[in-house]
């Protein structure tokens, strides 16, 4: 049922930032002027009907601009072809061929009415709840948003048990945006995220973790999963539309209420709708009102375009999420040496580069890996210490100490607070946790319980930091489980 306007008005708490307050463009983004200049050049490119003339425009105006796309990619975008795939509910295309390493293997895209590449179009990501899939929000969001001129992307989690904050699912989400942005003209200053239940929690997670991307977020029936605190400064400049049922027994409303009070106190731009008597199932009208809110939101002060369509040697955001340390960069000669097992040559090359790039966080990580080769492994399988000692380069106490020193330098050497920095922190902290996990595992049978208890607590501290930086990190969870299996009762000791 639809709630009368006077009831909604009584339930909505609104707080706006001070008029005229602008947000400085973070690193790896475009400020408003640079974004507007680039879009003007793209306007001229797509307005030209002749391919030959478009080529001239590209060479003269776009080749050295931060467009992030080749002439051939822009030409394909000019054709404005619909994606290949079956139609869902007469509203969205199901795309399969773009998804990699995903057992369920698809996401949906709803195209805006009247799409043409002659202008940039806003985009919304809609996240399903636990056990759902990309179909579940199409019928309640696509009719309003597509008619209002928005692309809508509906990712599907690779596993029904995974949440949207995990590294794999974050990459899955941003890979879907990347797919759309390389085929259609997206307005990177008007990108929004929403979702229900687990998708609502995912919405909170992504506006917290990747604020550079989003102009607004609309969590539905999902609490933030973190208490208010200094981290909220990341939300400045992001519009929030929050909906929760008063009687929700699946995702309790109280944490949402606490967050809303903090948003009010901090004068953050937000709207809160608490639905009286409603449990976890939010009615369609509330979803429609949320979509209308999105359709009326202004552009943000900067563009996240370089995060999705990077120039030169940059990588799209989804690759950075999966590999924040850059170990998959096969073009890096140091990585190639490490992959080939030539650790001494890698260490020598690292020393040479450090002379020119003193304080480079990534070089510190590579130096740690050169000292302790097993850090290249995804996880220390079963903590097989004997096997680790037999590997090229070994894993001795001196190598551990050297690697720990390099990793701590990596954590202390970065500048900035962007999402890539936080993911980098999580990955480096995870590497530190692996070393501590191995150290206490070696000490289990030495008859000096107090020694390994101290080491376990140190490992637990690092693992806890990893979880805080990157919630749901599956590698960290496996480390903790293995630690508890190896050291019964260790978690209870001090």
Q: What is the pLDDT of residues 263-304, one digit of tens each?
A: 999 999 999 999 999 999 999 999 999 999 999 999 999 999
Report residue 485's pLDDT band, with 50, 70 and 90 as the boundaries: low
Specify if 316 maps to a domain.
no
Specify if 167 maps to a domain.
yes
Task: Write out 145-187 in H/E/C secondary structure.
Answer: HHHCCCEEEECCCCCCCCCCCCHHHHHHHHHHHHHHHCCCCEE
Do residues 24 and 64 both lie within one domain?
Answer: yes
pLDDT given at position 227 = 87
Q: What is the pLDDT of residues 96-130, one digit of tens each?
A: 866 665 567 789 999 999 999 999 999 999 999 98
Q: 13 is in which domain, residue-wise?
A: 5-308
Query: How many distinct helices (H) and strands (E) make up the chain?
Result: 19, 12
CATH code at 191? Answer: 3.40.50.1820
Query: Which spans in 182-235 are helix H?
Result: 198-209
Q: What is the pLDDT of residues 152-173, one digit of tens each?
A: 999 998 877 678 887 778 888 9
Which DSSP string do the residues of 441-456 spell out, in sequence order? HHTTTSS-HHHHHHHH
Q: Report residue 208 as tokens.
A: 């917290």
Do residues 329 and 258 both lie within one domain?
Answer: no
Q: What is the pLDDT of residues 222-278, one digit of tens each?
A: 988 888 988 898 899 999 999 999 999 999 999 999 999 999 999 999 999 999 999
Integer-rounded Cα Rg, in Å, for the chain is 24
Q: Percentage of residues in the chain with pLDDT exceeding 90?
A: 47
Do residues 261 and 148 both lie within one domain?
Answer: yes
Specify if 98 maps to a domain.
yes
Mean pLDDT of 50-62: 95
Report residue 202's pLDDT band, with 50, 70 and 90 as the boundaries: very high
Specify if 313 maps to a domain.
no
Pick 248 or 402 by higher pLDDT.
248
Report residue 187's pLDDT band, with 50, 70 and 90 as the boundaries: very high
Report residue 417's pLDDT band, with 50, 70 and 90 as the boundaries: low
Give the number of other CB atoms < 10 A from CB of residue 425: 20
Q: How many domains in the chain?
A: 2
Specify if 317 maps to a domain.
no
Q: Report residue 23 as tokens.
A: 């947000």
CATH code at 343? Answer: 1.25.40
Examine the pLDDT at 193 and tell me if it is beyond 80: yes
Do residues 228 and 147 both lie within one domain?
Answer: yes
Examine the pLDDT at 443 and tell me if it is beyond 70: no
């Amino acid at each position: 049922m639809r709630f009368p306007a006077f009831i909604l008005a009584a339930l909505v708490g609104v707080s706006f930032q001070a008029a005229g307050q602008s947000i400085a463009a973070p690193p790896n983004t475009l400020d408003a002027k640079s974004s507007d200049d680039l879009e003007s050049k793209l306007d001229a490119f797509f307005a030209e009907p002749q391919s030959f003339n478009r080529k001239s425009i590209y060479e003269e105006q776009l080749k050295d601009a931060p467009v992030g796309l080749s002439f051939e990619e822009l030409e394909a975008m000019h054709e404005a072809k619909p994606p290949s795939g079956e139609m869902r509910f007469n509203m969205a295309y199901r795309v399969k061929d773009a998804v990699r390493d995903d057992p369920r293997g698809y996401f949906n895209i709803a195209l805006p009415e009247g799409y043409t590449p002659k202008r940039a179009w806003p985009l919304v990501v809609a996240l399903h709840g636990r056990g759902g899939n990309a179909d579940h929000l199409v019928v309640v969001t696509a009719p309003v948003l597509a008619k209002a001129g928005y692309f809508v992307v509906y990712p599907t989690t690779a596993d029904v048990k995974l949440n949207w904050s995990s590294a794999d699912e974050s990459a899955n989400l941003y890979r879907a945006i990347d797919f759309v942005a390389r085929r259609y003209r997206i307005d990177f200053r008007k990108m929004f995220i929403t979702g229900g239940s687990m998708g609502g929690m995912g919405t909170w997670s992504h506006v917290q973790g990747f604020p550079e991307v989003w102009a607004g977020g609309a969590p539905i029936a999902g609490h933030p999963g973190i208490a208010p605190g200094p981290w909220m400064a990341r939300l400045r400049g992001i519009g929030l539309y929050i909906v929760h049922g008063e009687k929700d027994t699946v995702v309790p409303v109280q944490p949402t209420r606490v967050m809303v009070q903090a948003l009010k106190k901090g004068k953050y731009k937000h709207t809160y709708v608490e639905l009286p008597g409603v449990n976890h199932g939010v009615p369609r009208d509330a979803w429609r009102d949320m979509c209308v809110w999105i359709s009326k939101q202004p552009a943000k002060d900067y563009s996240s375009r370089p995060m999705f369509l990077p120039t030169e040697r940059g990588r799209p955001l989804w690759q950075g999420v999966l590999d924040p340390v850059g170990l998959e960069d096969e073009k890096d000669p140091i990585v190639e040496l490490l992959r080939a097992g030539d650790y001494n040559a890698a260490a020598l090359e690292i020393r040479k580069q450090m002379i020119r790039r003193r304080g480079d966080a990534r070089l510190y990580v590579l130096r740690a890996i050169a000292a302790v080769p097993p850090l290249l492994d995804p996880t220390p399988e079963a903590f097989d210490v004997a096997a680790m000692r037999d590997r090229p380069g070994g894993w001795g106490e001196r190598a551990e100490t050297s690697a720990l020193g390099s990793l701590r330098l990596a954590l202390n050497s970065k500048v900035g607070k962007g999402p890539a920095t936080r993911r980098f922190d999580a990955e480096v902290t995870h590497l530190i946790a692996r070393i501590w996990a191995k150290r206490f595992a070696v000490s289990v049978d030495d008859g000096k319980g107090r020694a390994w208890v101290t080491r376990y607590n140190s490992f637990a501290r690092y693992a806890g930091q990893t979880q805080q930086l990157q919630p749901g990190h599956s590698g960290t969870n496996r480390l903790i489980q293995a630690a508890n299996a190896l050291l019964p009762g260790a978690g209870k000791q001090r």
